[in-house]
Each structure stands twice: as structure tokens, then as C-alpha cells.
Chains A and B, each alone.
Chain A
Amino acid sequence: MGMTRRQFLQGGALAATGIALSGTPGEANADAPVTRIKGLKASTTICPYCAVGCGLLVHTKEGKVINIEGDPKHPINQGSLCSKGSSLFQVAVNDRRLQKVMYRAPGSDKFEEKPWDWALDRIALRMKETRDKTFKTTELNKKDNKEYVVNRTDGMAFFGGAGLDNEECYLWSKFSRAMGVGQLEHQARL
């Protein structure tokens, strides 16, 4: 199909900011001459923003992301991207990205860097302490005044994540229930 180059946003005060549609597939190809991606490796990905599920190509060289653009073969977006999708490169290459484990002690006014092992061990200890302290084997139902087996901990909550992959969501769900955490919630509730 041809995406016509109509004025997509006539009349809007935000029109100047625009929705950056990157053009028709033909143009995307014309705009991507062999020289620009010569010697780069390409792999496909799906946009991490909204749930349209647009395809993108990630070009890399020596383990570094060099370029990200719409995948012209993807049947939904056919190479086009919006302003957020077009900015995925700046998620991959961004000096504000967290690159270290940071820890803030109670009452402290700063973060300090910690090794993964140290932080994960300490988190596991905290989780265990809370679970052991707040675990309810049974709970009283006020309506019939009976005790029921519930095997649940209400001392902690797990939040997230609509930004995780399916396989991560699955393990997160599995882990939460194994811990006895009933308070598992995420963005779909909002």
C-alpha cells in the first residue's frame, strides 16, 4: 500500500513537533543506500514503545549499535516509524542509561556502586526475612468465621512489567507465586 504524504497533522498546535513517519517503503529503500550500511550486521527487532508491534532493523558494527531504522519488510509498519520508534537508537546509545548496580543505605543521601553479587545476596536476604516474618499459612474469613489455608505473604508486592518479554513475564509470574506473593500487579491495572 502507498502511504500518501498527506499533511498528517493539519491544524494541531503540536503539528510542528510532527509524527515522524519515515516514508514509504520505496523511499526507505532509496534512503538506505548500500554504502550507508556497508559492512554492518543487521538483525530484526520489535519496537519497545506502544503495542502496534512495528518491526525495526538494528545495524551493528563490532558489538556497537550504529543505526536503527524501520524494517521495510514488516507487514504492519512497512518501514515507517513514529517519533518514538525512530528514537530507539537513543535508548541503545545513551550515556544516561544505568550501567552499574547502585545501592542507597537507609537514611543516606547518596547512591553507592555495589557488585551484582553483593546486591543480589542482600536482596535475597531481605525477601526471605520479609517472607518468613509475614507469611500467612492460614487466614480468618470474617464472613463465616473460619480459618482457611492461604499460604501467602502480604509483606511484599511485586510490580511490573509490561516492558518485559513474554518469557520474562512467565518466569516473573512463576517466581512470584512460588514466593507466595499474591500482590503481583502491573501496568494493565492502570
Chain B
Amino acid sequence: MTNHWIDLKNSDSIFIIGCNPAENHPISFKWIEEAMDNGGKLIVVDPRYTRSASKADIYAQVRPGTDIAFLGGMINYALQNRLIHEEYVRDYTNATFLVGEKYDFKDGMFCAFDDKEKSYDLKSWAYETAGDGKPKRDLTMNNPRSVFQLLKNHYSRYNVEMVCSITGTKKEDYLKVVQNFCATGRPDKAGTILYAMGITQSTHGTQNVRAVAMLQMLLGNIGIAGGGVNALRGESNVQGSTDYGLLFHMLPGYLKSPEFDNVDLKAYVEKWTPKTTDTKSVNWWGNTPKYLTSLLKAWYGDNATAANDFCYSYLPKRMGNYAYNKILEKMGKGELEGLVCMGMNPAVGGPDSGHARTALGTLKWLVTVDLWETETSIFWKRPGVNPKDIQTEVFMLPAASSVEKEGSISNSGRWAQWRYKAVEPLGKSMSDLWIIDQFYKRMKALYTKEKGVFPEPITKLAWNYGTGHEPDVHMVAKEINGYFTRDVTVVEKDKTLEFKAGDQVPAFKYLMDDGSTVSGCWIYSGSYTKEGNLMARRDESDPTGLGLFPKWSWCWPVNRRIIYNRASVNQAGEPFNPKRIVIAWDATEKKWKGDVPDGPWPPMKDDKEGKYPFIMLPEGHARLYALDLKDGPFPEHYEPVESPASNLMSKVQNNPAVKIPKNVSSDLAKFPFIGTTYRMTEHWQTGGMTRSLPWLNELVPDMFVEISESLAKQKGIKKGDKVRVTTERGSIEAVTLITARLKPFNVEGKMIEQIGMPWHFGYAGLSTGDSANMLTPTVGCANTSIPEFKAFLCNLEKGGNKA
């Protein structure tokens, strides 16, 4: 989230698309209702009439996977009717930038596509630059090669009729959504967009997110109270686990994990440190060398020196894509020997889980660390298999629960909050911290004692977290924050600071690339300083009245509660909305008041020191036109890989940058219905944490599928009947729930039914049922590889016999 949960109360229009907070983030609705009590409107756009929709002022139905058409039409409407926040767009986005001659878009394709590799040449989309290296700009935005004109031209095709024929939305509903939300383009109005997996789980998921962000840029809704681009994250610490780089492509703090051709630290820095010649641009990622060096110092301690590239060579280098789907594909072919699952359950949680379960059987060894038996830990005795045929050695380790250990977790609003240990771990269960520590210590002992391949990255790792039974979690947190490795004097404009070796770093601006600082995750620098553990703070004061609660816990970066907040003021530093001031420049004191600003520099119009607000981009301006996505600078509508419709926008049916696997089918004779998966209040994710809790099982005991009244009539199905749902991947049975909340979609004049199902069930736990992911396809987003769980084709038959 650019903003945070309580900030929802500051919104004039809350636009929910691709999430269902009343169901999946129930307590957030407290703040949505507060906004509504203050006159704000709630818009819900969803394929289903959800619990969130039931509270909405405006509801519009949308066919799964057509969000770009829906949002593109909103972009078009805002542009055509001049509802945009023009000053914001001109000053703070790249609308004024000129695009190079090569860029072109025709018949659904951007220029420079290699059909064999299924990839574009991104260089052909570059800005046109002047002799000083800066992109050329036209502040009138009339130049036909300006981003503004290209954008206007691109989305002129997304008129209301076209959009509604694609999305199946009723025109009057669509207009209500568009008119209400686009009214937040006024400087004194705030609109927020909330999304989750309905937006990301798509073959064009990243472009869906971009369409959301672009609409918010045009309406001047980023950086302000009650605005923002807000991903509602679904797991208690999935924000933190992402921040700490538990993904193949990045290290902690969103630093890129090194690629094979980043042969040394210099080459890494050269490749991943963006440059600018514009002195008004902060270009924060220009600090990449400081953050990587401080990370290497945290990992290799005194062994990391300037002379040995701070042990950079110890880091594994990637060549290719190791996203979840790819790993499962390799595992299926028997190319992996071992797997460790720390609270993860691939037998239920990923797409095509039938394949995942078979793939687990190719492993030599499997370690699961969880509170419960999961489908993954007992995959070898799952229904329908003979354990004797499965040669995988399985270690099922019992983990402590969240109330049995101490540490922090980061919520969706980036608040890192401290949890305390209330009781000892149950039975012989142990904290994950202890388990990881044991893994490491035993590996180190083995590699110290015996010969082995390239032992240094293990034997020379800095791993000093006290002498207790388990690592001292405070020592780990302090290493993450970072400290000085030697005495350092820092001369600032108005003061000189002296730090001693071992002092905690006050914030990431003090991190250096010379080995004088350590920090395990630069974005958390400032969380545990000489003032102590700021994540544990419980001060209930709210001086601005906006709900920022600046002394409750700690939030990254540098406790800034609303990021990009320099875009909430005009070039002179005056708030666009005087009623909800996030930050304001005090000209007498020469400083910002309010939230922690996105940097201390004076307002942008200050000739000498003023800076652009979008500090994370080298050009300092938010990108209406993207330069680095694999599937185009502008989001373009393509159909989901399995779809009942042909693409009305162009002849290009699917995202051309996506490689399509074999086991998908859009044969409507075999699979006439749209299938979609979702989550619910009473269960959670793969069900491990809920299906063994009697209170929750009593609320929702069985796997079910939701169908419309019309489909029930057509198939002669009654409430509670068993049905079989089938896709190209597999088949499941479930209890039928017939509901008026689901309606068929109008697809090119034909009514196509939808089938909704939760994905929380499996064969382990107290309450069991078939897994919806037996049905879902492995194809994923061109940029992120996140699978297309939300839109696939299926068949449904009465009766419960599995195929």
C-alpha cells in the first residue's frame, strides 16, 4: 500500500476492484465505513456480488480478466472529459516527456516484437533525449510524440460501448462508476483504489496494476491522504517476506539478485544503479551500491572487505527464471532432489496442484516446517496413491505459533509491529528462528569438518546472534537496521554527527559503500536505533488527525506513513487539499510539517535545491508510460489464456509476451463456463491455519462451488447437491451453493455462466475437501509469473464422481 488501513477513512471515493475486503480483510471495513459515514462513496467492481459489493453505493459486474478494458475506459473517460488533475499530471508525471521515433503501436502489438522469443526489444520504447542526456519535454503536452498524446491516442479506442462489450458490464453501471471515481480528479478530492489477487493473478497482472496506478496519476490521487494504490495483502507478513527478498529475483530491500553477467561488484553496480543528469531528480536507487555493500557486510562481516569485493562472489548468480511455476515444472521432470517448505503448502497453494503432488514424489527428500500436518507433508499417503510407490524421505518439523515467539511482522500498510512471546512453544515445537539457526549451524559444522564444494559462503558467513538457546531476535533486528563498523564523522549542512563503531545507524541515509556500515535490509534502517526498538511503540497520539499514528509501531521507509507525499503539494509546497494536509512547507522555518516527507529538500520550484516528487525513478516523474515492462509501455487489453470471448480490441487474443503451456483449452464445447477462485472470511489460504479449528469449521465445513440460479435451473441442480467441476487440468467434487450473487456474463450477445469456488480445501486437517487448484492453469503474468487463478474455463456436471 502507498497509504495504510486507517487512511481509508480520508477518502471521498473508495474504488474496490479485484479484492473483497469485507470478506478477506474484514476489519479494514471499519475504515471504509468511517469514510462512508463522512459522505464518501463505495464502488465495487467484481465478477461476483461479494460481501463488499453488498455494502457498495455502486456495484458493477466485470468478466474475469478484463480489468484493463474496464480501467482503460476510465482513463479514456477522464482524458476526454478533462477530469484529470492537470497540474499534477504536467508537473509530476512523465506526460510531458517525448518518446523516441521508434515507438509504435499497431493492431494490438507494440513495436519490436520477436515472435520466436515471445519478447519485445524494450530499447525501442525509450524517451527521446536531448544533448544533455535529459529526456526532451513539452510542457504544453501538445506534441504528438508526448506521452500525454500517445496515451490519449492509445485509450481513445477504449470507448464506453467497446469496453462494456468486452467486460459485460451494463453501460449505466459503468457510467456510474466512471463518473463517481473520476470526480476525484479535483485537487480537493481523494480517491483510493484497493486491489488484491483479482488484479495480480492474470497473464497481464502487472499491466492491470499499472492501469490502476495510471488512473491514480491522472486523477492526482497518489501521495495524498485518502488516495493511493493500495494492494491489500493477504498474509500477515507477506509484506515483510517480500521486503526480505524471499523471491528468486531479489535480495532484501528490493535489490536485484545478481545475474550471471554481473560478474563482479562493479558490474553489478553498473547494471543496477540507475543514472540521471537531471539535478532536480533525487534518483534514490542511485544509492544501490551503499545498500548492497551494507548487505554484504551484514552477511560476511569482517570477511567482507573492499579488496575482495565484499564477498560479492559468494552470492549465487541467476541465469533464467526460477519462479514458483518454473521450479514445479523442473521438479515434475525429476530435476530437483530436495525441497524445504517453511509454512508453505505447494500441494494446495499453487496452480495445477495435481501436478504439484506428483512432482513432490520425484524428490529424494522433503522438509516441512509447520504447525500442522499439511497436504504437502502427507502427500505420500494422499487419497489414491500407494505410499510404497513414493520414495521421498519426509521430515515433518513442528513449528511454534505466533504467540509462542517474539519478533516483528509488517502489515499491508508497511507498519512493522512487534509481537511478544506469551507462552513457551507447544510440546517439542520450535520457533522458525531456532530451526533456521540449526540448519545453518549444522551446515557450517559439516562444511568445516568435511570436504565439500565451495564451502566459503557457508563457513565465512557472519552469524552472531548471541549464545542463547535460539538466536537473540533483538540482535537480528539490530543487524537488519544496521550499525557502524568503525568510528564515523558525518558532516551535514547544519550539524556534525559523530558515530562510534557499533552504534546503530539512525536511518538509511547514513549507509555507505565503503564497508563502514552494516545493514541487512536497508528499507528497515531506522526501525531499531539508539532510541530502541521502534517497532514496539504503542503511543496512541495522532497529531494530524489523519490517522497517521506516527509513534505507533514503525513503518518503512523512515516511518513515512504515506509514500510519495511530496506529490500531495503543488510546486510551491502548498497542499492541493487544504482540508487533509499530509505535508506542507513552512517557509519561515524552512522545513516540512506533517508526515515524514519523501526527503528533506525544499519544494520543487526552489531553483537550487527543489526536487521532483517521484524519487524512486531516475526521471523523478511517475510513469504513465513505462520503460521496463516486458509487455508494453501502456496496458493493452488481451483475453485471459482460457476465455470464452475473442478479443474485440485487436486480433491479438492473448498477451503476446506470455508463453502458453499445452494443458490449456478454450474449447467451449468441452468447457462452457468461466471458473474463478477466491478466498473467504472463515478460512485462510491453503486451510492449514483454519481447517483444524473447530470454531471455523463449524462456520464453513465443506468445499463448495457457487453457481447462479439460472445455471442451477439449466442443470437441474438443487442446493447441497454434489457436483463435479472439470478443466483441462483435472476434476474436483464439491457441494453446490446456489446464489443470486452470481450472474452469467454477456459475452458477444451470449450469456456465459460463471462458477466460483474457494481454494482453501485439501485432504489434510480436521475438515477436508477437494482443492480448487486441481483445476487452475500454470500460465502466469508476463512480468511476475503470478498464475492466472482468476479466469479459466471449466465444465460442471451434476453428481460427484471424480473423473
B-contacting residues of A (Cβ < 8 Å)? 1, 3-4, 6, 8-14, 17-19, 21, 41, 43-55, 58, 60, 63-65, 68, 73, 75-78, 80-88, 90-92, 94, 96-109, 111, 116, 119-135, 137, 139, 141, 148-190
Contacts and interface: CB of A to CB of B under 8 A. Distances in A.
**Most chain B CB atoms below 10 A, which of A63, A78, A173:** A173
Contacts of A188: 238, 241-242, 246-247
A113 B542 CA distance: 52
Given A76-B27, A185-B246, 14 more contacts: A50-B24, A65-B422, A102-B395, A104-B380, A107-B391, A111-B394, A124-B446, A130-B337, A131-B453, A160-B340, A169-B237, A169-B241, A177-B457, A185-B327
Contacts of B483: none
Contacts of A163: 235-237, 342-343, 689
A160 B344 contact: yes
B524 A166 contact: yes
Contacts of A168: 407, 431-433, 436
B476 interface: yes
A105 B390 CA distance: 10
Contacts of B25: 50-52
A50 B324 contact: no
Contacts of A11: 54, 741
Interface stretch (B124-132, B221-229, B510-518, B680-688): B680-688
A3 to B, nearest CB: 6
**Most chain B CB atoms below 10 A, which of A88, A137, A157:** A157
Q: List the 10 shortest-distance A-B pairs measured between CB atoms, nearest first.
A: A99-B427, A53-B411, A165-B407, A160-B342, A98-B398, A82-B26, A124-B442, A156-B338, A162-B238, A162-B235
A12 B422 contact: no
Contacts of B403: 45, 58, 65, 68, 88, 91-92
Nearest to B686: A187
A161 B690 CA distance: 17
Given A148-B261, A190-B349, A190-B350, A166 B240 contact: yes
Interface string B686-729: 00011011111001100000000000000000000000000000
B652 to A, nearest CB: 26
Contacts, number: 517
Contacts of B395: 101-103, 119, 122-123
Given A101-B397, A148-B319, A185-B323, A46 B409 contact: yes
Given A12-B741, A77-B27, A159-B346, A102 B396 contact: yes
Nearest to A55: B417
Given A75-B549, A165-B237, A169-B241, A106 B393 contact: yes
Contact of B51 (A9, A68, A103): A9
Contacts of A46: 236, 402, 409, 411, 417, 419
A186 B372 contact: no
A167 B408 contact: yes
Contact of A157 (B339, B421, B458): B339
Nearest to A62: B423
B601 interface: no
B272 interface: no
A166 B409 contact: yes
A137 B454 CA distance: 8
A171 to B, nearest CB: 5
A108 to B, nearest CB: 7
**Most chain A CB atoms below 10 A, which of B251, B299, B346, B396:** B396
B501 interface: no
A159 B344 contact: yes
B24 to A, nearest CB: 6
A111 B439 contact: no
14 contacts: A14-B700, A53-B5, A104-B394, A129-B337, A148-B260, A166-B243, A166-B409, A169-B241, A170-B521, A172-B436, A173-B251, A179-B443, A182-B316, A189-B786
B109 interface: no
B379 to A, nearest CB: 10
B422 A49 contact: no
Given A100-B428, A122-B395, A168-B432, A150 B317 contact: yes
B263 A148 contact: yes
A21 to B, nearest CB: 7
B692 A94 contact: yes
Nearest to B435: A120
B54 A9 contact: yes
B56 to A, nearest CB: 12
Interface in B226-270: 232-248, 251-252, 257, 260-261, 263
B393 A105 contact: yes
Given A99-B398, A186-B246, A91 B433 contact: no
